[in-house]
Amino acid sequence: MAIGLIGIIASLILLITLAYRGVPVIVAAPISAFVAMLLSGVPLLPTFTEIFMPGVAGFISNYFLIFLTGAIFGALMLASGYATALAQVITKWLGPKRAVFATVLTSALMTYGGISVFVAAFVMFPLARELFKAANLPRRLVPSTIALGILTFTMTAIPGAPQIQNIIPGQFFGTSTFAAPLIGIVAGILMFVLGMVWLEYRSRALVRKGESFGDTTILESKFGRGADLGLSQPESDQEETREGVRNVASPPRASEDSPDAEGKAPRTLVPPNNIVPFIPFLLVFIVNFGCTMFVFPALDWSVLEDEKFGGITLADRSATWAVLLALLAAILSVLLFNIRRIRNLWASLIDGAKNSLQPIFNTASEVGYGAVIASLGAFTIIRDGIFGVSSNALITSAVSTSVISGVTGSASGGMTIALNAFGPDFAEMAEEQGISMEALHRITSMASGGLDSMPHNGAVITLLLVCGMSHKESYKDVCVITLLIPVVVTAIMIPFAMIL
């Protein structure tokens, strides 16, 4: 048992090391699982084929359509010019003097509107750069400012968020993306306010020290001015979720609808006016909310009793189906508004579909790794330790989800691993303690978006890469925004959730 525990710990260290060094998790996860299996003395081939692969396949089966439609929507919004137009309109309304607020608000609208993290970061960087330049604010704050909008409250807290981190708990607790709206709204406001306070404090403090937009960055000191523009998108290894880019070593490949080797923006269409770009985002919310609250409950779902559907209920799939329909409606709206230019968008649609594969396989590979770890005898020690932290379902779920997400550097992967291993136990504990499944959903979702933002997290690497900043320059602020604040807010909200 002791050797098995050592094997689990060694495999975790290996997974973190490989991810931090840029090895794609689709490769790092099975290698790390192999180390754990080898030291635990379990049969290798049966464990790989009967435990690892079903874990991978299960995640893909549940969430492939979400990844697919999300990636296509993001690609179409970028190629149609709608994402850029929306950002430009909002920043024009607010003006350069409110550079931080304008960047956060625009980033948040994109993420809450269904745009993937990677696309939002790519679109926002050049706009944030111009805003920060006009306000003469230090560039080191650009990654953390974008991060507040796309990696915190709009991803895990605000009800209805179409991001995968807000969908996964519904599969285990029979809840929707609008679960525990009061808890989510309060938590979202706290994350936003605390994040803005930190960013405003930091911007003023750095300006007082004499820092400005024109200061030379570490990359520029090594490679010359403009180095930040040459690192905006390593296309071959992108991952369009919070898990971000896993392998950042490959150079960008120029193509018609992607940044070229010099980091130039992709060729896009021009939207007809300033209102149309907002419509697809509004559709995501309207369709998601309408299906969840009104349409689905009003329909007859007796067909699900058929054995071929595996005995699922509406509660089991409501969150996934609602977001799926919302994204499809948004995709259709973009195509209809550009019906005369649909040939120009077709290549982007295909690229979006292709780009959905690596993100889901990366996360699924982590889930397969988690399935292997959970199957080992030594895992009972970890299980007992987790449930020994507290007898409260919310605390236990938050701690386990946060720790595993931190180890894997993946919010969705860590949460899936935790819920696959302990989900039924959490639900049973919550029911016995009179805690609603909706509260459990919201706390678990928020907990996934905290410790996952360790330096090896792919989203951190993505943001720094896109913005041309190093960990030394910008990680401190990114850490406060995406790790410290979400963890503190989640801890604050647990007692609040207990009394609701």
**Number of Cβ within a 10 Å radius of residue 50:** 12
Q: Which residue, among 402, 427, 414, 426, has the nearest Cα to 488 in the 3D structure? A: 402
Question: How many angstroms separate the CA atoms of 272 and 182, rounded?
Answer: 38
pLDDT, tens only, 439-483: 999 999 999 999 999 887 878 887 888 898 988 999 999 999 999
pLDDT, tens only, 149-171: 999 999 999 999 999 999 999 99
**pLDDT for 216:** 81
**pLDDT for 203:** 96
pLDDT, tens only, 194-253: 999 999 999 999 999 999 998 888 877 776 655 544 344 433 344 444 444 443 333 333
Of how many residues is the chain composed? 500
Q: Using an 8 Å Cβ cutoff, are 418 and 400 in contact?
A: yes
Contacts of 406 (CB under 8 A, 6+ apart): 414, 450, 451, 452, 454
pLDDT, tens only, 45-101: 999 999 999 999 999 999 999 999 999 999 999 899 898 888 888 888 887 789 999
**pLDDT for 23:** 85
Considering the entire predicted model, what is its pTM? 0.87
**pLDDT for 382:** 84
The pLDDT > 90 percentage for the chain reads: 66
Question: How many angstroms separate the CA atoms of 56 and 34, rounded?
Answer: 15
Rounded mean pLDDT, 406-422: 92
Rounded mean pLDDT, 185-191: 98
